[in-house]
């Protein structure tokens, strides 16, 4: 059996093209944990573990992801058959609780290896295989400045890159946020879908007021307006309002998906491979949604190229993807860490057809952006 012989983990810090303002943090750079596995047959696989704003978004940070892999997951990996992805991940889950982002990075690398070993894309290892070759991609307007957001939206529309806009709100008073969003809705009426993400920053009373006002100004979707554990409040808001409520932070794997679906707490699920604990668990979340009549959106943790394309492989297998995806993470960064940029064109992202993830790291960019720049250069993965 092929055994894992080398496990490389390192953090890369890449600046963003502009400040990215969220309710819980303002990002000026993205920190990504890159994993590279090499087995005894010489097959390599890459994965990514990325979160937002250090520990301001959730319980894992880039530093804790790397620590979990190096200290607790690596010994389990070395004892497993690298070709048996499901069995290997089951062994990791038995030994390591939680740490979904770290597990997702490892599973992504294992699936990349499996696809290369078999000569097929990762999408063909998931569910029934891909049903689409490209995915609609939203762009997040998060400068916080109305005129700047409209100018930015016009630019990406003209480039035929995005016609779905998500606006980050929740830091200002509800009425001020609605005025900001309403101006953007008016600017793009009939040309783009406008959604908002509150990132859990409203109380139920604020959400009740805000969702009604946002519907009136033309918003199509409201993402996670209240705290992730406020499932009853989400259910009440979903029952009261016409504009759909989308669950994001409330989703952290199949069990949470089942609870949300059975409680009618959301009409849309934002599936994220990292929050779910990997691509396989993300597929289970999507299956629960489909069986429950909940619509799907392909979410992001603002990953770089590796995590973005891993998500794209999974999302390409969803029979229905009513709300598109948000896989714009690499476009928010000043530099691409892949040897070839991902294919964004005509408002969509192309899903690679090569073996595994179908991508490779840019060795020079990785060496430059590594936090530990004195470490050996990681060569591009084939």
Separation of CA 164 from chain center: 16
Are the beta carbons of 317 and 129 closer than 8 angstroms? yes
Answer whether residue 15 shows pLDDT above 50: yes
Question: What average pLDDT score do residues 327-335 get?
Answer: 96
Q: Under DSSP, is residue 80 helix (H, G, I), strand (E, B) or coil? A: coil
Which residue among 168, 186, 272, 365 is the active-site one?
A: 168
Indicate if the pLDDT at residue 275 is higher than 60. yes
8-state DSSP, 375: S
Mean pLDDT of 161-186: 97
Nearest in space to 6 (alpha carbons), one of 73, 63, 74: 74
Average pLDDT over residues 142-163: 96
CATH level 3 topology of 4-119+362-369: Enolase-like; domain 1 (3.30.390)
Percent of the chain at pLDDT above 70? Answer: 98
**CA neighbor of 278 nearest in space, from 105, 73, 81, 93:** 105
Tokens of 23: 């309710």
Q: Cβ distance 82 to 335 under 8 Å?
A: no
β-bridge pairing 4-21 and 26-39 = antiparallel
> pLDDT category, 374, cuts 50, 70, 90?
low
Quickly state the pLDDT bin for 111 (edges 50, 70, 90).
Answer: very high
- 8 A C-beta contact, residue 158 and residue 193: no
Residue 189 has pLDDT above 70, yes or no: yes
Question: Which pLDDT score, from 0 to 100, does residue 25 have?
Answer: 78
The answer on pLDDT for 287 being more than 70 is yes
Q: What is the mean pLDDT of residues 115-127?
A: 97
- Locate the DSSP E strands across 311-362: 344-345, 348-350
Whether residue 54 has pLDDT greater than 90: no
Domain positions in the chain: 4-119+362-369, 125-350
Q: In what order do the strands lie in the sheet with 134-136?
A: 134-136, 348-350, 344-345
Which CATH code for domain 125-350? 3.20.20.120
186 is an active site residue: no
């Amino acid at each position: 059996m092929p055994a894992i012989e080398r496990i490389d983990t390192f953090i890369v810090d890449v600046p963003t093209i502009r400040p990215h303002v969220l309710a819980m943090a303002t990002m000026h750079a993205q920190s990504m944990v890159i994993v590279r596995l090499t087995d005894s047959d010489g097959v390599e696989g890459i994965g990514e573990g990325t979160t937002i704003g250090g520990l301001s978004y959730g319980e894992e940070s880039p530093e804790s992801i790397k620590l979990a892999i190096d200290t607790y997951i690596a010994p389990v990996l070395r004892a497993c058959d690298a070709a048996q992805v499901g069995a290997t991940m089951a062994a990791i889950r038995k030994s390591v609780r939680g740490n979904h982002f770290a597990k997702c990075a490892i599973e992504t690398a294992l699936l990349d290896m499996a696809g290369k070993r078999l000569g097929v894309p990762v999408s063909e290892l998931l569910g029934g295989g891909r049903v689409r070759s490209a995915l609609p991609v939203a762009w997040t307007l998060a400068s916080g400045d109305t005129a700047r957001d409209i100018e930015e939206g016009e630019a990406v529309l003209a480039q035929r890159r995005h016609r779905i806009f998500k606006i980050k709100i929740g830091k200002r008073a509800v009425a001020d946020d609605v005025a900001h969003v309403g101006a953007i809705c008016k600017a793009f009426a009939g040309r783009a879908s406008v959604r908002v993400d509150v990132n859990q920053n409203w109380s139920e009373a604020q959400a009740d007021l805000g969702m009604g006002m946002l519907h009136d100004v033309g918003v199509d979707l409201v993402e996670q307006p209240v705290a992730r554990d406020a499932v009853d409040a989400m259910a009440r808001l979903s029952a009261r309002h016409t504009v759909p409520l989308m669950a994001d932070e409330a989703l952290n794997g199949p069990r949470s998906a089942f609870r949300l679906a059975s409680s009618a707490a959301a009409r849309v699920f934002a599936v994220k491979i990292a929050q779910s604990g990997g691509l396989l668990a993300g597929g289970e979340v999507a299956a629960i949604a489909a069986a429950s009549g909940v619509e799907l959106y392909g979410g992001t943790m603002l990953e770089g190229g590796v995590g973005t394309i891993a998500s794209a492989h999974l999302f390409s297998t969803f029979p229905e993807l009513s709300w598109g995806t948000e896989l714009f993470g690499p476009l928010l960064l000043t530099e691409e860490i892949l040897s070839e940029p991902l294919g964004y064109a005509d408002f969509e992202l192309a899903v690679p057809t090569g073996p595994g993830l179908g991508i490779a790291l840019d060795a020079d960019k990785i060496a430059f952006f590594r936090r530990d720049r004195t470490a050996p250069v990681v060569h591009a993965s084939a």
